[in-house]
A and B are shown apart, each in its own frame.
Chain A
Amino acid sequence: MRPLDPRLLRYARSARAYVILTTVLGLVVAVLVVAQALLIARILAPAVSGTLGPSPLVAVAGLVGLLAAVVAARALATWTQERFALRAAARTIAELRESVVQHAARLGPRWIASGRGPEVATLATRGLDDLEPYLVRYLPQLLLAATVTPLGILVVFGLDWVSAVIIVVTIPLVPIFMILVGHLTAGAAARRLAVVQRLGSQVLDLLTGLPTLRAFGREIGPQARVRALGEANRRATMGTLRIAFLSGMVLELLTTLSVAVVAVGIGLRLLRGEGIDLEAGLAVLILAPEVYLPLRQVGAQFHASTDGLAAAEQAFEVLETPARPRGTAPCPPLRGSTVAVEGVSVRAGDRAATAPADLSFSFTVPDDGSRGRVVALTGPSGSGKSTAALVLLALHDPDEGRVSVRAADGSVVDLRDLDPRTWWSQITWVPQRPALAPGRLRDVVRDEREARDEDVERAARLSGLDAVVASLPDGWDTVVGRGGSGLSVGQRQRVALAQALLDDPARSPVVVLDEPTAHLDARGEQAVLESVRAWRDAGRTVLVVAHRASLVALADDVVSVWSQVTEPAGRTAGPASRNAPTGATEPSGPAGSGPVPANGTSA
């Protein structure tokens, strides 16, 4: 892993300015460190040799003033570094967070929900924070190692080349020995770390299971085991640490011993009068530890560096996941258009199946304000109904097949080539888990639509929201949190239904509804049916992902969605039927798979 990933500078502009500032400050600090050492030596040497004359303080007043200025400047440099490091870190993290979140949204809900999704959420909310210690602690030391150390060596070389040679010879030993020790101990450390983690999780396991033990009245006793596990954990950890701390010891040993060797060398040569004077000797003695200091700090902050870089790496992986470029063609008015799903198949990410498999159907949106149609997608759980809806919503690309729009004038365009915003603006989507904005219930339902109070109340009646409102102490003024927190899942669903009822049928003639599977009782089901009827009667085409017979009964067209097992290795039943919920009746369609068009799916 590179200590400074250039991609960080590419993706986060704040990091760029910060690296420049830190580099400049690093150079300034390098000059100040050298100046401080030279000034102290210049003042001290004549004082020790007794050559300052009768009023010694007056003789060094100028130099002491200069030294005071250097001290003040170093404090100021430290202040500036710390002050802007924290700010730059906050901004860099914010920039990366925004990019990651935006790009993840571009990659679509299926990508977010599959394997990497939860990771992205953790990365965006907490993981990126690891960049702070990296940027604030590690990076400045790294840059100091690139400024103070070489400049210090150069100056030492000018003062006393023998000492410079000692330093130049020992510095490469630091990383060499650290890598050597690291390599020799990596295997043992990894093995022991596994033991440590297992023991740690066992203790946590007992604590987690305490309520269960208690439910059986067996909670007293295992604390001896907690202690024994803790002891075993300690012994194993100490085994790891004995090895892990070795590299730290090598670092300390090499750097301190080198300073000692330099000091002794200077002392002995001064003693013999071999080409070095007291002032140079003192300057080298002060400079030598300063030359090693950044290296030691880099070693000490090593973990900050690996954690921070790993977080950044994760962010780059997300950002570098290619997203299909969006289409640019404007969507024709959907009224009067025919939308055709042609042989659409989507590979299920987590199992060896295609869901949906080879799905075809079409529907025409009426343009004369007449009664709309209700198209129901049905099929067993896991057959890909919701995925089919995502494909139709242009939120997921099919692996095979396509969705096309034939406009009233006969022109045909692929959904891929459309600017999705012009497509979305004509569709209302009621998902299972709606994204509700926070606010008072009345405003949440309106969601920035222009709607009269009586329209809102009519929508509430149809969607069953009126019962919810009546049950809430604050009624329409109830404050709802982000994402509808404060409301139950069923209540959120009704809010979403009411919202969709307020939409202007002329603006968005198509409604896509993912019927709620859970938390629905008789009254809840009635609300869904009422809403679907109201949409249809307003001339909107309703595409429902249906789970219940009552909704299918309402449909004008029924489309069966099937999944197909892609690897038939020894399995007779596909995962779709295995995952069927309790009480599932086996579909009595033709064996195998394939679309089963219900009575004339194209209107």
Chain B
Amino acid sequence: MSAVGTRVRDRLAADPLWRATRLLEIPRGRAVVSVLWGALSLGSSVGLAAVAAWLIARASQMPDVGAVSIAVVAVRAFGIGRGVARYLERLASHDLALRGMTALRTNLYELLARGRGEALARVRRGDLLARVGADVDAVGDVVVRAFIPSGVAVVVSLLSVGIVGVFLPAAGLVLAACLVLAGVVSPWLASRASRATEARSAQVRAEMSARTLEVLEHAGPLQVAGALDGRTAALRSTDRDLAAATDAGARVSATAAALQSLAIGLAVLGSLLLGIPAVAAGTLAPVELSVIVLVPLAAFEGASALPAAAIQVRRSRESARRIMEILDEAGAPDRAAPGPGPGEPADDRMTATGLAAGWGERPCVVGVDLAVPRGGTVAVLGPSGVGKTTLLATLAGLLPALGGRCSHPGDAALVAEDGHVFETSVLENLRVARGDLTEAEAMVALERVGLAPWVDGLPDGVATPLGPDGATVSGGERRRLLVARALVSSAPWLLVDEPAEHLEAATADELLQTLVDEARASHRGLVVATHRLSGLGALDEVVVLGQDEQQGTTTDAAAVPHGPRPATVTVRGTHDELLRTDPDHAWALAQETLGPTVPQAGPAAR
């Protein structure tokens, strides 16, 4: 017995929905109250059917009014009770679900905040976050759409079986069997059908989506190339496959629906076939016969909600699985790597020795050596996607090193390219970097990044709230705000990703100079990742990342399935040295200086 118990416990412990449900922290008392209101609501329907059947049958025997007066009152009470109890049940169960979602979100936040940075960064990167929101909702939905309805269905079914069984036990058994058909077999079929359909259609659906987007995105080129009709025909054929996948599942789900209808009919027939002889035999009063025949007509409402509940459980389990995967990753210990995380600092410098950085197992940057003293400034250069961001995250200690070592004494503040602008005031957004920042200090920092006129233009200055994810802030303003964050932070090491993005050339150069000045003045180390070359003369060292000779072009590491060779340091030195020795460097700088072509350039050049 205890072996079985252990097995059940193990299976539950492995079930993602069960684990996620525990994070919902559902209070048992409130759950019971919700189920009771629901049972009272559907029970009113059953009660109405039972008492009304009794009332009419008894009335036909023309007794005194007094004999049926209680039944009359009861029928009316049930008539009112159903709607009211249903209202209270919906409120109670939704309250429960919302409490659960809050608990789940809080737990999720806490576990992610305390967990490994890598899992977190992956959530942000892979656009998983939008899904996390939806997944939390889906897990919360399981309460309203599956748990409470199942509880209600069980209570009401037992009640109905009880009523019928009291009068005629055999009919009660038939009703119970029919309820199992409608409340267990049918939901099982429905869930199976929906799983089969989704499994079969998932790939076709992705294909359909890709084809649709292809036609929409490339409508022009496809038309000019005369390929549009072909692609539309291909989309049609994919849609046919999708319909076929739906169709296969439809047969089973139709059977599930038909079982619902059949179960009610069978229960009524059973009551009639068992009840009529029982009346003749004198074991059942004639009035009671009408009760056991009419109760089944009202008894299936609870069970009929269960196919949808079963499907919800399955979907919620999928969502729970995704949530638990992220949490498991966040909670897992760091991978055993040659140089895990930031090692013990050897001296008062930020150092990297043979550092390999990457997401997951495969490094995208290898063999990086760095030594940045306090007040030192280094630029990491390279085409987009080469791994500059990954390198910075590893230097900051947010990603474990995949090889080699890196270390720094004290905190490092990373200004990520996709740094988040919170839906709060400008000041609070700067306080993210330092909690005790005063308004005056904030103004100084904003002035230094050239945002003073912008803040002056805001209705409440630094107290002005910004829209969700900085939607009311332009790309350039956002970039400067993020850099201002780095300036106000008290960390001795600043790692800034692409400070020049979305900025005019002159502004970009000024901003870089501001960062360099700050590093030198307050004796902080600065590492800047950029793909812009102008202004780099102000820095101590320029480190160029790239693939080796063959593969000169940029490669979006995420887009290549087999992957390019990892990038490494191809050239390094001061900006001026590189201009002299590296033709690519000089060419790239010339491109920036030239900018877009000017009208007279063409003809004049010939």
In the bound complex, what is the Cα–Cα distance between A119 and B338 (angstroms)?
48
**Contact A278/B60 with A97-B239, A588-B599 known, Cβ cut-off 8 Å:** yes
8 Å CB contact of A90 from B71, B247, B601: B247
* Residues of A with C-beta under 8 A to B222: 105, 435
- Chain A residues near B573 (CB-CB < 8 A): none
- Is B225 in the interface zone, CB < 8 Å from A? yes
- Residue among B114, B211, B600 making CB contact with A482, cutoff 8 Å: B211
Quick check: is A354 within 8 A (CB to CB) of the other chain? no
Quick one: closest B residue to A518, CB to CB? B384
**Residues of B contacting A: mostly:** helix
Q: Please report the C-alpha to C-alpha distance between residue A120 and residue B215 in the assembled complex, in whole angstroms.
A: 12
A447-481 to B contact mask, C-beta < 8 Å, 1/0: 00000000000000000000110111110000000
Asked whether A49 lies within 8 Å of B60 as measured between CB atoms, the reply is yes
Among B216, B259, B504, max chain A CB count under 10 A is at B216
Residues of A within 8 A of B584 (CB): 521-522
Cβ A83 vs Cβ B250 within 8 A: yes
A311 and B400 alpha carbons, distance in the complex (Å):
46
> Given known contacts A105-B228, A553-B605, is B91 in contact with A214 (CB within 8 Å)?
no
Interface residues of B in 245-290 (CB under 8 A from A): 246-247, 249-251, 253-255, 257-262, 264-266, 268-269, 272-273, 275-277, 279-280, 286-287, 289-290
A424-437 interface bits toward B, Cβ cutoff 8 Å, 1 = contact, 0 = none:
11010101011101
Chain B residues closer than 8 Å to A413, beta-carbon distance: none
A57 and B398 within 8 A (CB): no
Cβ-defined contact, B266 with A71, below 8 A: yes
Q: Are A86 and B419 in contact (CB under 8 A)?
A: no
Residue ID in chain A nearest B420 by CB atoms: A209
Contact between chains at B106 and A227 (CB < 8 Å): yes
Binds A, one of B76-84, B349-357, B360-368: B76-84
Would you call B261 and A78 a contact (CB within 8 A)?
Answer: yes
Which one of B79, B215, B547 contacts A259 once the chains associate, using CB atoms below 8 Å? B79
Q: Which of A201, A210, A252 contacts B112 (CB 8 A)?
A: A210
**Contact between chains at A56 and B261 (CB < 8 Å):** no
Assess whether B510 is interfacial by the CB under 8 Å rule: no
The one of A204, A216, A437 that contacts B485, using a Cβ cutoff of 8 Å: A216
Other-chain contact of A266, B56, B80, B551 (Cβ < 8 Å): B56
**Contact of B75 with A by CB under 8 A:** yes
By a CB distance below 8 angstroms, the chain A residues around B606 are 553
Asked if residues B108 and A94 are in contact (CB atoms below 8 Å), the reply is no
Question: Which of A64, A201, A558, A583 is in CB contact (< 8 Å) with B468?
Answer: A201
A48 — nearest CB in chain B belongs to which residue? B286
Q: Are A71 and B269 in contact (CB under 8 A)?
A: yes
Cross-interface CB contact of A598 among B225, B435, B599, cutoff 8 Å? B599
Which stretch of B162-170, B401-409, B518-526, B558-566 is in the interface?
B558-566
B523 to chain A, nearest CB (A): 19
Complex contacts, B559 vs chain A, CB 8 Å: 485-488
Q: Which of B117-125, B313-321, B451-459 contacts A (4 or more CB under 8 A)?
A: B117-125
Interface residues of A in 63-93 (CB under 8 A from B): 64, 67-68, 70-72, 74-87, 89-91
Q: Are B225 and A260 in contact (CB under 8 A)?
A: no
B224 touches A523 (CB 8 A): no
The complex places the Cα of A437 from the Cα of B243 at a distance, in Å, of: 24
Of A235-243, A338-346, A563-571, the stretch lying at the interface with chain B is A235-243
B250 touches A94 (CB 8 A): no
Residue B554 interfacial (CB < 8 Å): yes
Residues of A within 8 A of B591 (CB): 548
Residues of B within 8 A of A472 (CB): 562
Report B496 CB to chain A, min CB distance, Å.
11
Residue contact B605 to A202, C-beta cutoff 8 Å: no
Contact of A125 with B226 in the complex, beta carbons under 8 Å: no
Decide yes or no whether B132 CB sits under 8 A from chain A.
yes
> Could you say which of B27-35, B410-418, B442-450 contacts chain A?
B410-418
- The B-contacting residues of A in range 219-247, CB under 8 angstroms, are 219-220, 222-223, 226-227, 230-231, 233-234, 237-238, 241-242, 245-246
In the complex, are the beta carbons of A490 and B220 less than 8 A apart? no
Interfacial chain B residues near A223, Cβ < 8 Å: 106, 109-110, 113
Q: What distance in Å separates the Cβ of B493 from its nearest Cβ neighbour in chain A?
A: 12
A583 lies within 8 A of B594 (CB): yes
B286 to A433, Cβ gap below 8 A?
Answer: no
- Residues of A near B595 (CB, < 8 A) are 580-585
Which of B6-14, B92-100, B372-380 lies at the interface with chain A?
B92-100
Question: What are the residues of chain A within 8 A of B603 when measuring CB–CB?
Answer: 558, 598-599
Report yes or no: B505 in contact with A582, Cβ–Cβ below 8 A: yes
**How distant is the Cα of A282 from the Cα of B279 in the complex, in angstroms?**
18
Report whether B554 and A519 are in contact in the complex, using a CB–CB cutoff of 8 Å: yes
The answer to the question of A376 belonging to the interface, with a C-beta cut-off of 8 Å to chain B, is: yes
**A467-B551, A482-B214 known; A47 vs B289 contact (CB < 8 Å):** yes
> Are the CB atoms of A281 and B56 closer together than 8 Å?
yes
CB pair B398–A260 under 8 Å, yes or no, is: no
The 0/1 profile, CB within 8 Å of A marked 1, for residues 476-519 of chain B is: 00000000010001010000000010011100100000000000
Flag whether A248 is at the interface (Cβ < 8 A): yes
B537 within 8 A of A: no
Q: Which residues of B contact A84 (CB under 8 A)?
A: 250
> Whole-angstrom distance from the CB of A424 to the nearest CB of chain B?
5
User: Quick check: A48 and B432 within 8 Å, CB to CB?
Assistant: no
User: How extensive is the interface on chain A, given as a class?
Assistant: 35 or more
Residues of A within 8 A of B554 (CB): 488-490, 519, 521
Please, which residues of chain B bring their CB within 8 A of the CB of A194? Answer: none
Residues of A within 8 Å of B600, CB to CB, are: 588
Residues of B within 8 A of A98 (CB): 232, 235-236, 239
Q: Tell whether A421 is near chain B: CB-to-CB under 8 Å.
A: yes
Give the contacts of A112-149 with B (CB-CB under 8 A).
112, 117, 120-121, 124-125
CB pair A220–B114 under 8 Å, yes or no, is: yes
Digitize B574-606: 1 where CB-to-A-CB distance is under 8 Å, 0 elsewhere.
Answer: 000000000110011001111111111111011
Q: Which one of B55, B56, B223, B398 contacts A420 once the chains associate, using CB atoms below 8 Å? A: B223
B residues less than 8 Å from A171 (CB atoms): none
A47 to B272, CA, bound (A): 9
Q: Is the CB of B552 within 8 A of A101?
A: no
Residue B425, interface by CB 8 Å: no
From B227, B265, B276, B534, A74 is in contact (CB under 8 Å) with B265
Residues of A within 8 A of B500 (CB): 582
Q: Give A216 to B600 CA distance when docked, in angstroms.
A: 50
Stretch at the interface among B44-52, B150-158, B340-348: B44-52
Contact assessment for A48 and B598 in the assembled complex, using a CB-CB cutoff below 8 Å: no
Establish whether residues B236 and A286, one from each chain, have CB atoms under 8 Å apart when the complex forms: no
B389 to chain A, nearest CB (A): 12
Quick check: is A50 within 8 A (CB to CB) of the other chain?
A: yes
Q: Which of B186-235 contact A (CB under 8 A)?
A: 208-228, 232, 235
Contact with A along B35-68 (1 / 0, CB 8 A): 0000000001100100011011111101101001
A76 / chain B contacts, CB cutoff of 8 Å: 258
For residue A281, give the distance in angstroms from its CB to the closest CB of chain B: 5
Please indicate the chain B residues that have their CB under 8 angstroms from the CB of A379 in the complex.
599
The minimal Cβ–Cβ distance linking B111 to chain A, given in whole angstroms, is 10
Are B243 and A587 in contact, with the CB atoms below 8 A?
no
A213 touching B432, Cβ below 8 Å: yes
Residue A574 is within 8 A (CB to CB) of chain B in the complex: no
A81: B residues at CB distance < 8 A: 254, 257
Establish whether residues B432 and A249, one from each chain, have CB atoms under 8 Å apart when the complex forms.
no
A-B contact pairs, 30 of them (CB 8 A): A44-B289, A71-B268, A81-B257, A83-B251, A83-B254, A97-B235, A101-B215, A101-B235, A104-B216, A109-B219, A117-B216, A209-B422, A215-B398, A216-B491, A218-B432, A230-B105, A250-B83, A257-B76, A257-B83, A260-B79, A263-B56, A267-B71, A378-B599, A379-B599, A488-B556, A491-B555, A519-B554, A583-B592, A583-B595, A584-B505
New A-B pairs, 15, CB < 8 Å, besides A79-B258, A266-B56, A582-B592: A47-B275, A48-B287, A56-B276, A71-B266, A204-B129, A223-B106, A256-B48, A263-B55, A263-B75, A273-B62, A437-B227, A473-B562, A523-B552, A549-B594, A588-B598
- Shortest 6 CB-CB distances between A and B: which pairs? A260-B79, A230-B102, A71-B265, A253-B83, A435-B218, A209-B420
